[in-house]
Amino acid sequence: MPSESSQATTQASTTVARLLQEHGDVLWRFVLARTRSQTVAEDVVQETLLAALKAASTFSGQSTERTWLLGIANHKVSDHFRKTTRRGEQSIDADGADAGAFLASQRVFAENGHWRRSGLPAALDVKELAGGAGLRREELLAMLRACLDALPANLGEVVWLRDVMGIAPEEVCKQLGLSATNMWTRAHRARAALRNCIQERDADSIPSST
């Protein structure tokens, strides 16, 4: 007759196998999209599954299991960036958010807080907003991916969950352990930095209106 501990181990193993079976591909695609490296993605997926196993008792069931797993994976990816790349070594301000990338995006404002003439965002083509020509959209998506990659870890993790994966704000706060105010601040900084990054990379598509 199996001991209690071996029963628990078997149960846990079944859970990992099930998680891999049911969510493995989505988890893999998400982590690969964020890390762009199969080797790193493999490590992160493994760490995610193990962390999920440890935290299984704390899973409240308020979000879907997939959202919960994506939250853990997102956190593991950010940990990876903090440990291994310069993306994790940015200056952190009092809100716990990266200051550098955001500050660069704020140069469009004058000292009185209003737009500088040279910083005014250009009007957009409505047709482009509605979907646009395939090639143009693909170009923009490629630029956006590059800009997402360039975001500091603490801003990237918010925008990936909120805007890329479309997870509800309350759930993002819970997954990242942030207060609502802190999440709004980080989302604002990430979006401003992304907009600025695209503008810099694509001066023709979002030209200065002056």
Contact (CB, 8 A) for 15 and 50: no
- Identity of the residue numbered 124: L
Cα-based distances in Å from 104 to 70, 81, 101? 30, 21, 5
Residues 31-60 that bind other proteins (CB under 8 A): 32-33, 38, 42, 45-46, 49
**105 burial class (0-12, 13-18, 19+ CB within 10 angstroms)?**
buried
Contact string 117-146 vs other proteins (x = CB under 8 A)? --xxxxxx---xx-------x--xx--xx-
Q: How many CB atoms lie within 10 A of CB 101?
A: 24
Q: Which of 9, 37, 85, 118 binds other proteins (CB under 8 A)?
A: 9
152: DSSP letter: -
Q: How far is the CB of 188 from other proteins (least distance, A)?
A: 4
Residue 179 contacts other proteins per CB under 8 A: no
Alpha helices in the chain (DSSP H): 4-35, 38-55, 65-84, 100-105, 126-129, 134-150, 153-159, 169-176, 180-201
Q: How far apart are CA 68 and CA 56, in angstroms?
A: 10
Smaller CB separation from other proteins, 191 or 201: 191
Residue 198 contacts other proteins per CB under 8 A: yes
Residue 188 contacts other proteins per CB under 8 A: yes
Residue 28 contacts other proteins per CB under 8 A: yes
Q: How far apart are CA 64 and CA 60, in angstroms?
A: 9
Q: Which of 2, 61, 134, 166 binds other proteins (CB under 8 A)?
A: 166
Smaller CB separation from other proteins, 55 or 120: 120
Residue 203 contacts other proteins per CB under 8 A: no
Q: How far apart are CA 72 and CA 59, in angstroms?
A: 11
Choose the binding region for other proteins from 56-64, 77-85, 93-101, 106-114 (rule: CB under 8 A): 106-114
Smaller CB separation from other proteins, 17 or 84: 17
Which pair of tokens denotes residue 145?
A: 């991916």
By the criterion CB under 8 A, which residues form the site for other proteins? Answer: 9-10, 12-13, 16-17, 20, 24-30, 32-33, 38, 42, 45-46, 49, 106, 109, 112-115, 119-124, 128-129, 137, 140-141, 144-145, 148, 159, 162-166, 169, 180, 183-185, 187-188, 191-192, 194-195, 198, 206, 209
